[in-house]
Structure 1
């Protein structure tokens, strides 16, 4: 009897490694798995339906990574499977974006057998140098945990630990799964006990001290406000944020990356704060406050209009997933959810000096007498089209900045990639988001706003949406190229131009039928108003593809100002 037989015989309930891994994915909320097949992952893919999961199969690994990102932002967590070397490297850009923006994606890479690795065999998809860890080492820098599943005695514990890290830290993790480990036996009895996904609690004494300090400054403040940013969403602190708003009635603002974090119809909501390009009344209120409770901040250049905040750290309390900062005092490992809960419990509302919102950011649709669909007209107009619980995806470019001027309905979910800013991300993300909605059996529309330049990078993912029977509404902004790049540098440069595609025809090319898809093209305000009032279009019972024509040299105000700041940053010298 071999040692492996002895180990298997000692197991209470032996299961194959792949079954264990995919069962755990199902237990933590994954229902669909994105990826591309390759010979090093094929056997493991056979286990996906057996574990109650659906295989998606994207057109390429980059799109699959973008889709997993979008799926995770709606469903809570996602899984991505690629093959060794060629597949995983194609996905790396998308995984890096998930890491930068705090999105939990499980990246599983099928790799050569442990025997092949030990022998240093000259295999396909390798660099030919016998180094089988070179690609996992690349992923190490964009993963919060990495597990090479080489030893059956350790694999089950490795899987459980790594998946917990993915959820708790809300960032990608990486599994290296050799072909000869896929069907090795591990202890399946562990599956009866769910992975503990509870966030570690703060050390009580330190947390209480921080809460007391926060309350001291909050009770002394004359005009406190709340500013909610992306990490409040990513690290699941919105329940605490909403409780704070309801109890204190403090004015609340969101950053561009924080869109959708709070109910924009709430009486205390003041608007989007993004530094210098914000509405003047918003700037006055936020920057004039004597205490800003900043929750989950990601102060990137595009999120702050080129670092144009005019706020002082002396007037700021920062709540993060890894620390709390009160003015210039840092409290490492005292995380925001625990602190915010106790602040809500202990705040004395009779001691608060809350100044109500006198001037909300007004979202009004200006008239457009020319009939041309302009950025300034379009984004406020979309406010009236949106519905409760819509999932709204905007591409890096005009859409990311234009959406500032759109008022969201309650329970809307916003997806954007302001920090990483990979052109074309939104198309894959929309596929993932729409699939997550479908997996959740939710009655929610998925709406994508993307420019023609960005769309050309990842257009193939439209075919996946059609194949899966997804029903997003896609507004393709046709303005002849890379608008955001034009405003940063090269307004008329040929490198910012794109080929003229017959975009609507792609719906047919990728398998769309009249029963499952609809194509539209609008060039005037009247045509768009008619479409936005159409009951069938509003109902979104099929995929709707809209070619929306806008002027080439037109851009949202926020984009213009941020592009100017970006150009100055790019041109700085010592």
Structure 2
């Protein structure tokens, strides 16, 4: 059982739960996601006391997706569940955040330390007296764990967990037993902010790596830059943009890195994903004699089915914990300091121009005749023409995620997708979290593109958006089921079909004020084009929901190729 600290020994006594939530406020969290349960209820009372807002989700899985979307915009997030039944419902979302480097603080309200010590037969347990089993499940998808079983070390454990969450950009797991919530600990620590700085590289080692990189960079005849997701997750975008702008080298993004680079820069060249690349990109990247990859994650969907054709002999990889120059690896050297010094010392480089993507619709797709159906080849360049600077664009795993590769962004657009983990339904919850973060940080439009099949998994979060007076623009792509699965296997199989809903009617079903919401249905290019031209619609004054109909078997070119490669990988024996 936890031993008490004498309150008289404390300079500024503060309850454990209040300390925890004040630390979360300190690092930028303002909205706390989750679902109430009897083991976390008393702790939830502290949330409004410290200036935080309880979001209140429809279920824990959705709360996890929402916390993921919120963290990608705000930098970190928090989600609260109850022991056992609540935390297990969240784990799919936390696993996704772990795989994609998203920092979420997962707080679990647990039975009291006394109940756990005595192995009591409590609800939400397996009935075997084992209170560690659920924490053990979370251990492999958390970069740090803090079990607040003793007030003596609670503050230190909280501070360490939040720091690791931020620095490693991955989820952490904190247990808060019911009898610890109101225990007094030293609040004087709050006067010293948590140190969120990245560790500095050893100077001599860093300088050596920089010299090696510059040697190859100056020798290269046609070098290029390729930016990926970990440049975003590990907060290296300032360093990346200085390198891109000063070097003027052709710069590309991987699908998971979409939005990492200002796409209005003259040297931005588009999306590189092997055979799924934008026009002219694969030829330019693969013919380069030196590729600087920053924050690379070479997963199957991020490389269009492992179709990269870039030799490691011609590659320099920048990562958060190591550098790799051709075949030589330098552990313990972070990309942050290296990028700064390479940019400062680079001098004159050999620059050969790359492709210049735009949002022009191909001539074959420009037709707007009466009743002409919306196609992916037409839609995604048209979306690019409609987007505005600083928009937040969320795309579901499937047609939308692959389609957005063909969209050139205005400056400042943030793109959210779950390319590596790929849990369908993710984007609806993520939209709620991103829209809340957008509401907290300024007037940024939040736009979601989600397939009808994926939407049906997590549709309840539309209710949470309405409850919190959020104003996303939601496009549900109505194409009769799981299109990406159809292309992998079973084009006409019944298991890839779904029940057809009256999707837009859910806005009213979930209780939206008709004066604070609007729904649309578009079936043709002309109807969609008219909607994009509608200034009231584009101003996003309230929640707007669009049923956007597309042919069942239509899909982006990159999806078709990736699905074919995935099917071959699945069939290997």
TM-score, normalised to structure 1, is 0.98
- Report Cα offsets for 1:368-387 as digits up to 9, x if no partner: 35511011111111111100
1:143 counterpart residue number = 142
2:272 counterpart residue number = 273
The list of structure 1 runs, each at least 4 consecutive aligned residues, that deviate by more than 3 angstroms after superposition, is 2-6
Question: Secondary structure at the residue paired with 1:518?
Answer: strand
- 2:228–2:256 CA contact under 8 A, matched in 1: yes
Aligned-pair CA distance for 1:7: 2.7
Question: Secondary structure at the residue paired with 2:10?
Answer: coil
Aligned-pair CA distance for 1:280: 4.3
For 1:83-94, what aligned pairs fall within 5 Å after superposition? Answer: 83-94=82-93
For 1:537-556, what aligned pairs fall within 5 Å after superposition? Answer: 537-556=537-556
1:205 counterpart residue number = 204
Identify unmatched segments of 5+ residues in structure 1: none
- Mapped to 2, the partners of 1:5 and 1:298 lie a distance apart of 47
Question: Secondary structure at the residue paired with 2:212?
Answer: helix
For 1:452-531, what aligned pairs fall within 5 Å after superposition? Answer: 452-531=452-531
- Report Cα offsets for 1:3-52 as digits up to 9, x if no partner: 96663221111100000000000000000000000000000000000011
- 1:104–1:170 CA contact under 8 A, matched in 2: yes
- Report Cα offsets for 1:421-460 as digits up to 9, x if no partner: 00000000000000001111x1210000000000000000
2:180 corresponds to 1:195: no
- Mapped to 1, the partners of 2:288 and 2:443 lie a distance apart of 40
- Mapped to 2, the partners of 1:521 and 1:280 lie a distance apart of 32
Question: Secondary structure at the residue paired with 2:514?
Answer: coil
- 1:368–1:377 CA contact under 8 A, matched in 2: no
2:167 corresponds to 1:168: yes
For 1:124-273, what aligned pairs fall within 5 Å after superposition? Answer: 124-273=123-272
1:38 counterpart residue number = 37
- Mapped to 2, the partners of 1:279 and 1:385 lie a distance apart of 19
Aligned-pair CA distance for 1:278: 1.2
1:57 counterpart residue number = 56
Aligned-pair CA distance for 1:246: 1.4
- Mapped to 2, the partners of 1:444 and 1:154 lie a distance apart of 41
- Mapped to 1, the partners of 2:2 and 2:56 lie a distance apart of 38
- Mapped to 1, the partners of 2:300 and 2:4 lie a distance apart of 57
- Mapped to 2, the partners of 1:3 and 1:283 lie a distance apart of 60
- Mapped to 2, the partners of 1:411 and 1:362 lie a distance apart of 16
2:138 corresponds to 1:121: no
1:379 counterpart residue number = 380
2:350 corresponds to 1:353: yes
- Mapped to 2, the partners of 1:4 and 1:328 lie a distance apart of 54
- Report Cα offsets for 1:199-248 as digits up to 9, x if no partner: 00011111111011011100110000000000000000000000001111
Aligned-pair CA distance for 1:420: 0.2
Question: Secondary structure at the residue paired with 2:301?
Answer: coil
- Report Cα offsets for 1:93-148 as digits up to 9, x if no partner: 00110000000000000000000000000000000111101001110100000011
2:428 counterpart residue number = 427
Aligned-pair CA distance for 1:513: 2.0
1:308 counterpart residue number = 307
2:8 corresponds to 1:12: no
- 1:424–1:455 CA contact under 8 A, matched in 2: yes
1:407 counterpart residue number = 408
State the Cα RMSD in Å: 1.1
1:562 counterpart residue number = 562
- Mapped to 1, the partners of 2:243 and 2:504 lie a distance apart of 47
My pick for the range that moved more, 271-280 or 206-215, is 271-280
- Mapped to 2, the partners of 1:84 and 1:288 lie a distance apart of 54
Aligned-pair CA distance for 1:347: 1.1
Identify unmatched segments of 5+ residues in structure 2: none
- Mapped to 2, the partners of 1:112 and 1:369 lie a distance apart of 62
1:417 counterpart residue number = 418
- Report Cα offsets for 1:37-77 as digits up to 9, x if no partner: 00000000000000110000100000000000000000110
2:360 counterpart residue number = 364
Aligned-pair CA distance for 1:362: 4.2
Task: Figure out how many residues of one structure are paired with residues of the other and give that number.
Answer: 568
1:322 counterpart residue number = 321
- Mapped to 1, the partners of 2:353 and 2:567 lie a distance apart of 38
Aligned-pair CA distance for 1:477: 0.2
My pick for the range that moved more, 363-372 or 242-251, is 363-372
- 2:2–2:150 CA contact under 8 A, matched in 1: no
Question: Secondary structure at the residue paired with 2:280?
Answer: helix
- Mapped to 2, the partners of 1:3 and 1:522 lie a distance apart of 61
- Mapped to 2, the partners of 1:3 and 1:386 lie a distance apart of 55
2:27 counterpart residue number = 28
- 2:357–2:408 CA contact under 8 A, matched in 1: no
- 1:281–1:361 CA contact under 8 A, matched in 2: no
Q: 1:3 to 1:233 in 2, by over 3 A?
A: closer
- Mapped to 2, the partners of 1:207 and 1:116 lie a distance apart of 51
My pick for the range that moved more, 498-507 or 278-287, is 278-287
- Mapped to 2, the partners of 1:572 and 1:280 lie a distance apart of 30
- 2:266–2:356 CA contact under 8 A, matched in 1: no
- Mapped to 2, the partners of 1:154 and 1:337 lie a distance apart of 32
- 1:282–1:360 CA contact under 8 A, matched in 2: no
Aligned-pair CA distance for 1:87: 0.1
- Mapped to 1, the partners of 2:86 and 2:283 lie a distance apart of 50
